[in-house]
Amino acid sequence: MNYVEKVDEAYDEFQDVYWDLEKLVRSTDRLREDDRQLLLIALGELRDLVELLSELPTVDGSGRYIDEDFVVQRVRDATELLREVKSAILEGNPDSLAEEELDVDVHGHVAYIRDEVIEALRKALERARQEGRGGRDGGDK
């Protein structure tokens, strides 16, 4: 299985879990309306970030500049987070769910992954720049 196929497989699994969780969040009576809305916003941000991650390998077609394990693992981590959120909703009661602030957990995860993506892109651009200069030192930065 090549790099793009691995990312596609991880992304497809994320999507399946995401849509199942979104349906649960929209339909459950275990969440207060305010908590539901905040969680849906956070989940949407996570979905947008995972979509960006899933597109990274197609930037150069081979994943030459973006570490394969980085992308696949971050998508899988996001999928696992969705499973944890679903479990918290199914096993918790409305009062404890509000106290857990599931949206804050998801937002925190999004911020962490976003920072990692920015750093990975910075490194990829630097490697591409180095290759473009033939590995020579100097030149414009």
- CATH number (domain holding residue 7): 1.20.120
pLDDT recorded at residue 65: 73
Look at residue 139 and tell me if it is in a domain.
no
pLDDT recorded at residue 58: 63
> What is the Cα–Cα distance from 67 to 69, expressed in whole angstroms?
6
Look at residue 141 and tell me if it is in a domain.
no
Look at residue 137 and tell me if it is in a domain.
no
Number of domain units in the chain: 1
Q: How many CB atoms lie within 10 A of CB 81?
A: 22
Amino acid at 80: E
For CA atoms 90, 93, 95, 96, give the dihedral sign.
Answer: negative
pLDDT recorded at residue 141: 43
pLDDT recorded at residue 74: 94
Collapsing DSSP states into helix, strand and coil, what is residue 65?
coil
What predicted TM-score, i.e. pTM, was given to this entire model?
0.83
> Cα dihedral angle (78, 81, 83, 89), rounded to 10 degrees?
-140
Q: Which residues of the chain have pLDDT under 50?
A: 138-141
- Please give the residue range of the domain that contains residue 24: 3-132
